[in-house]
Structure 1
Amino acid sequence: MRFTSERRLDDGVVERDFLLGEVPGTLWLPDSAGPVPAPVPLILTAHNNGLPRTADRLVARARISAARGYAVATIDAAGCGDRPLSADDERARAELRRAARAGEPADEILESLVGRLVERAAPEWRTTLDALLSLPEVAGPVGYSGWMALGVRLAAVEPRIVAAGFFAGGFVPRAQRAEARLVTVPLLMLVQWDDEGNPRQRALDLFDAFGTKEKTLHANLGGHTGTPRFELDDAHRFFDRHLR
């Protein structure tokens, strides 16, 4: 891990950009006045492919969490930010746009596209976690927040993740729907009841499939980007219970 910049922000947060091989990422930390900051719990925050890690609403959420005393980290997946898409993914996205214009079903296109993205992203995130936990400022426990398809895979295979918050606002491939039964960590899942393109019944069925004995579902009226602000406060209370 090589840090490429550091900024002290006016909300008491330090923002550090890094490179891990060819993968760019950002780490947010609470600013400490002490010479040797005490290590803090870590939240990995991933976004649905297509949004770069610099998107305003993603950065705002990360900074709020860091100001509450967490280390928060994200990386760009393939096709995000300056990372190119593969030729196969470019073709799949073009086909997805064509299907949307024609009003045709797109599940099989998404199955292939999102499935490939998860298969590539999960190892990158586990390597990033290795590097983050080697830093003196960062300690466990580790939580996960965000992109559900990737989060299901990581929560199923990564024992260092002890709690997960999922946004049910994206396509989840069949492989991850099957893996849901392997997720046994405490879980908070957010559903937007009128999320365009993401049928609520599919999200409800997935929630039912999770193997954990401690799972909570929050459902709110509204479309994909209409999640109420208070859900962020509830998410922090969830992570406070399990990471502190």
Structure 2
Amino acid sequence: MKTLQVDEREDRVVVTLDRPAQRNAINAEMIDELHQICGGLEREPKLLLLAGTGDHFAGGADIAELRQRGREDALAGINRTLFDRIGKLPLPTVAAVSGYALGGGAELTYACDIRVATSTALFGNPEPNLGIMAAAGASYRLQKLVGVSVAKQVLLGVKNLDAEEALRTGLVIEVTEPGGHLLAAHKLLDRISRLSPMALRLTKIIVDAPGSHAFADDIAQAVLFESPDKHDRMTAFLEKKKS
């Protein structure tokens, strides 16, 4: 990997965007390498933690590359395809954000299930300043995360959300002091890692599915009710309660 640092552990993969001189701007090479990460997590599901080297998560897409892209590149959905793939990974994903998460960097965090931020974090989509739109998932993800009104302020009014606003709108789960985001993210993943993997996978599928799907909830629960993991976990709970 040339643009990523990868730390694969027993229960999680920690991926750090590693182009600090460019504020970890997302270029084509990074897209390709993140696809490789996704491939591994699809074959062997684990938790995913995304972070950035240095002071920033990702200052956006690589503008020098974007300037050269044309209609066919846009229709190929280069960044969107990757972020959609990240959004569909089997087990939960967490973005640990410090400093800038702008443009494509912000959209990468939106694709994650949960976000942890430092007090220095700044989320925004300034794409209209460059004559383009946020087209890698922000139009359909951000409104689900923070509501239509706030999403329009960000996407149309190019309003940035600082850490306090991100916490207040529900975009992030926790705000830490500078440098504390990785520890907080790992503590969150430690809690998640103790949960039932199958329950997590099915819950994520159901939550992300569009529309009302009560019957699908019942089917997913039926699968879990018949699992040995459910029996073992409930037996352990009841035995602990007796002691």
Question: TM-score, with normalisation over the residues of structure 1?
Answer: 0.38
Higher helix share: 2
Q: Which structure's residues are more often strand, by fraction? A: 1
TM-score normalised per structure 2: 0.38
Q: Which has the larger radius of gyration?
A: 2
